[in-house]
Structure 1
């Protein structure tokens, strides 16, 4: 942090201590999160991102009299105590914060307008420490959509009798599932249903769990994963009772989730509780193996699930997300090839050459292939013609609510041709 900011922060700290002594310790805290930090890192680079975050922090210190907590490099979150200690000043603080967030950040030859969600937390009693205020603010941020273009600014009070902070995203009614049908290119039958966990936000919009994971601590992520497993396997049991043939569920899991040994425990326990064989589940690795959770713990979870009978698949094959040794070591049986390679494959020669090269590598390694994001019937026909095993995407079926999956499975089953009967007629 620059020397000037540190000096201002020291003066603000003395001011805060003096005013707390005079007013009985009323406190205001700010928790601010830049939601599109990964996109910015990829587009402007880590160095420019750090400059942007540093300049945003300076503006908050200067205009809001923020006493910031130290921020680790690359962190998307800014926390700090406010030098203004009157709750009556909150509307003005929110207005100034709105101006700061909407103005953008000027960099050399560039202006960046980050997507920012923020919350001001009030503790009139002064009995809560800064860590408790920050935790309360982070919990309130979980209810803000990360996709709102203008961001969301909120004010919350921390009541004196408040106990542990309740995380709204953990409520079972906030967690829901969509299912993406995957269709066999040879027979037209359903190969699998891909599980897409969603979390409903305070504004009633729902967001993909993958987008919200950076906000969740490990314990919270584990509880959400357990709820997803419970709902997904219960739905599979319902389809089994209907007589609809769903060979398996494909569940994408992040590196962080797989690094926790409790995730493998929860998967195997829930399969056993629902009386489902492990072969009915495919675990899809969605990130470079070990990037966030460490290769040893992630590898141990994958090997344990593979030994139990679960299938292991690799998402985004061809983008460098896993080495060839990972495919062999973890016994991966299927690879998903994303929209970046699929788009326009029926008419673009460059896409066709790239897809054929990836397809040849997968075939050499004995891996089944799934084309993701298939948007047109022409793309689907081309992919089936060149040898893909399965497809998913808007041209096949959109992600469906569980009730809509019931109708899809029944209608799709009736649309398939009857198997040819070779038995001699009596």
Structure 2
């Protein structure tokens, strides 16, 4: 692919996009969870139209769609490239000041707006591979938002490349930008008929060459503890404080296993994420994760048993235990269509990239999309140290992602 002579726009695009606040809100009941996510959507629609994508639009839910029309005489499956516009609520995404560090030399990067924020090779070993690259960071008081505006920028640069090089043969390509991925609702209102694609790839991965086709399966648990309220001055023998019972449940969880901080690889966990309430009623939120879906029910039964043993010590106290499915391991779908992953690996090799198969200890929009009829592994963008003030991305990694997409659509056309 003659992309070497193309002047990439990924760095400029990313540095513009991250300045648009798109922070998602896990406590919101609206969709998208924050209207500000549509601010970026509007920009992307206009840029797609300016590039010649005639059907670019944003629907009422904040999804951005567009089609790069195919030019192949063959019948080629329609491939979708997807990235999410929102950023995580863990660190503020308001007032992002992106900084381009050219020709990184390996020394600590001191972020100017908070000099206590220092990005080092010791903390972030992948930086050793990025010496000589151009890096983009935030300024020290916010996240960068490369998760996943790096993916958005890569897809937009890819569209610009294709629209300017009509000699590249490919089938129809669908573009999709989603809201609310960071709060687990990214495809809740997605119209799959409108998307009208056969296979897909999310651009939301990390290190150069990483390809992810195996994710966690995930449930959420809501444990509601009902205590007995009484005036604290006259509470002896009457009061059962739901907050204290909730604390006992948390204290009864294993200390050396079964948690994010004690597991790795394919090991699963149960993780408390929220604790709210008053003495009469307390609510605890948990996420339950494992790469084997069948293990979720085992974990949930164990958690329920722990909670029950605590509650049963206090006659008069009761509890409710609710389980909600979040997403499932994409491998369960992708193993039936292995060529979707194989083509991406082939595209990386054609781009002189060493493929790095990665197991996701989490999920992406691709996890749910795969079960909605769009088999959808996840490709690298270079985004690193995500959800933190140390977030950074290599411009060259993003450019390589664009090159990979260019090779990939040609491979799909050739295999038909």
Q: Normalized against structure 2, the TM-score is what? A: 0.23
Q: Which has the higher contact order (CA 8 A, sep 6+)?
A: 2
Q: Normalized against structure 1, the TM-score is what? A: 0.23
**Greater Rg over alpha carbons, structure:** 1
Bigger fraction of residues in helix: 1
